[in-house]
Each structure stands twice: as structure tokens, then as C-alpha cells.
Amino acid sequence: MKVACLTGGGDCPGLNAVIRGLVRTVANHGGETIGLLEGWRGAIEGNFIPLDPMQTDEILPLGGTILGSSRTNPYKNEGLVQKIVDTFHSLKLDALVAIGGDDTLGVASKLYRDYKLPTIGCPKTIDNDLSATDFTFGFDTCLNTVMDAVDKLRTTAESHRRVMVVEVMGRHAGWITCFAGIACAADAIMVPEEEVDMAKICETLKARRAAGKKYGMVLVSEGAQLKGQDFITKDAEKDDFGHIKLGGIGTRVAKIIEKETGIETRDVTLGHLQRGGSPSAYDRVLGTRLGIHAGRLAIKKDWGKMVALRGLHIVAVPLAEAVGTMRTLYPEFLDEAGEFLK
């Protein structure tokens, strides 16, 4: 059996764990695995590297993906899909494992539906916003990166009696902000799921200062949207979703807080740091398990499925059901985080 795998979309820690788990499992059953380079681009161009089972031990601790990634979507350009089918046959492949987010998995789903290509999906999003799996790898490493950053910022904020605003990833879902907010003892969080009431947040920060807390810590999703226009300068650009243009919400929020509370306020945007680094133990284990089970699906010739985490177990769900729906933060978690925001 000859299996190809590829990694698509934004990278995150744990991709190499999936690759290792897959390669070893396929090898244990007498098969071989190759890696297509730079997402669907490698599938289109037939560009690949062989993957050795024993050497992949060395990639487990590495962040990112040794295969490279891209946002190439073959369904956006005529003729590219056929090239993938051609590559599949010319390389004499038996299976194609696509590791990626909604976009990458959507292609795998359609290739299975339209061309009966034996595809298998593995979910990847650092934002944890895929609907068919409890958690996605990369999310835990990201939380630890945010937490370590905020732990560093806490002492400097306290030394200068400041409020510190930290902008984290999350365009449409607040998983990172909410979980990191709990883990960092944030005084306020702002997520895309709820319109942000800056007046209320400023009140909370002033009340805590008055009660003796010498610093404040605020976490804001890049996709958070502020309520009303009172606090917002008129030139705030908005994207197609009506959100304030990304990549600046942190600075904007900091300015509002400083102006409204009179407390010196600074902001930090963690940006690409959040995608980097060696995967946490949780992500190494989760990624590895998903890779193993993707391999086992291939061996069983169980096509058109995606591996997913449910409770303690890895299960298989139809790709067609898994893609297309973004999962926003469950109210349960916002409710829990709310205990600390009053």
C-alpha cells in the first residue's frame, strides 16, 4: 500500500506528530508513505519526498510541518483538480491523507465525492473551531504560548501599575481567548461571539484598581467586535463581516481603556508566535493518535472519513459531515470564564 499525505493551510504545532503516526502505522502494515510538498500544490505538481518510518521519530518535537504548506485550493482554478487525479495515478497511490482545516478538508471531501479518490482527512486548526472534533492539535500549544507570554507581561504590568491588552488569534471564534483568559487570570476577555461592551470593561478595571489590584490584564480576540460607536474613532475600517479590521484591535482597545479609565495602558500583539514552537505533550499525543488512526483507516480502506477526537477516543466521521460548519465557543465556557469577569 502506498499512501500520500499533505499538510494545507496555516501551520500549527503537531503536524509532524500526525505525519509520524501515519508513516509508522502504514509501515507497520507493510506499506509506504510519501509526503506531498506545500499542501495541494504538491498534489497538483507531483512534488513529494519519501518518508522513512524511523527517521520520523526525529520530527516529533518540531513545530510546523516538514512538508511545507500553502493555501492552494485546486477547486479555485480550472484543471487543477484533474492534475491531482493524474498525480494520484502516476504515483500509483492507494490513499491520500489530507491534514488541514476546513478548506483543505473540503477539497478532500469533494475529491472523494466527485472522483472517488480514496481520501482521508485529519482536522487541523489552531483556532479549535472545527465542528466534528472535541479539540484540535496546536490549540493546546498555542494556549501555553499565550499563557507564558501573559505570565511574562504580568510582572512588568504590575511594576508600572499598567493595564496590559494582549491581542490573540481568533477571527470568528473565541476559543483561544476564553481558554487563555481562564489560564491567565485575565480581568477581561473579548471574543467574536459577543459584542464587546467597552464601558462595562472599563468600569471593571477601574473598580479593581480602586480595590487595590495594581495592574490589569485584558485578552482580546483579533476578531472581537466593539459595541456601539461611542468609543471608536470614525475611521475604523471594517471587514466583510462588519468586524473592525484585524491586526489592530489590541491597540485600539488599549487606547480606549487608557482614555476612559485614566490608567496607563499598553498592548502586545502575539501574532505568529502563536503558531510556532515545539508542540506541547497534549498536542504531540493528540497529533500522533490522529495520525495512527488515519493510517488504520487507510489500511482498512475506509475512505471519505475524517479522524476526530471524542472524549478519550479517536473516532472516524464522514468528511462530508465534518466540513463546512465553523464551531464557535460553547456558551458553557463563556459562562465559566464569566465567574472571573464580574
Q: Is 170 in the site for a copy of itself (CB under 8 A)?
A: no
Q: DSSP assignment, residue 280?
A: P
User: 20 labelled as ligand-binding?
Assistant: no
Q: Is 267 helix (H, G, I), strand (E, B) or coil?
A: strand
Query: Of residues 72, 119, 265, 288, which one binds a copy of itself by CB under 8 A?
Result: 288
Give yes or no for a contact between 81 and 117, defined as CB atoms under 8 angstroms apart: no
Q: Which of 114, 159, 239, 324 binds a copy of itself (CB under 8 A)?
A: 159
Terminal C-alpha separation, the chain: 58
Q: What is the four-CA torsion angle of 333, 334, 338, 339, rounded to 10 degrees?
A: -10
Q: Nearer Cβ to a copy of itself, position 10 or 85? A: 10
Q: Which of residues 57-86 bind a copy of itself (CB under 8 A)?
A: 57-58, 60-65, 68-70
Smaller CB distance to a copy of itself: residue 241 or 330?
A: 330
Choices 137-145, 198-206, 226-234, 300-308 (CB under 8 A): range interacting with a copy of itself: 137-145
- The alpha-helical segments, DSSP class H, found in the chain are 15-28, 40-45, 80-90, 102-115, 139-159, 175-183, 198-210, 249-261, 281-299, 319-322, 331-338
CB 267 within 8 A of CB 250: yes
Give SS3 for 50. Answer: strand
Single out the residue of 30, 121, 132 nearest to residue 303, CA to CA.
121
**CB atoms near residue 307 (< 10 Å):** 29
User: If binding is defined by CB under 8 A, does position 164 make contact with a copy of itself?
Assistant: yes
Q: Which residues are catalytic?
A: 127
10 is in an annotated binding site: yes
Q: Which of 276, 303, 315, 327 binds a copy of itself (CB under 8 A)?
A: 276
Window 95 to 114, contacts with a copy of itself (CB under 8 A): none
**Is 239 labelled a binding residue?**
no
Q: Which stretch binds a copy of itself (CB under 8 A): 73-81, 145-153, 190-198, 221-229?
A: 145-153
Span 177-216, contacts to a copy of itself by CB under 8 A: 179-180, 182-185, 208, 211-214
Q: Binding site for Mg(2+): what residues are annotated?
A: 102
Q: Binding site for substrate: what residues are annotated?
A: 125-127, 162, 169-171, 222, 266, 272-275
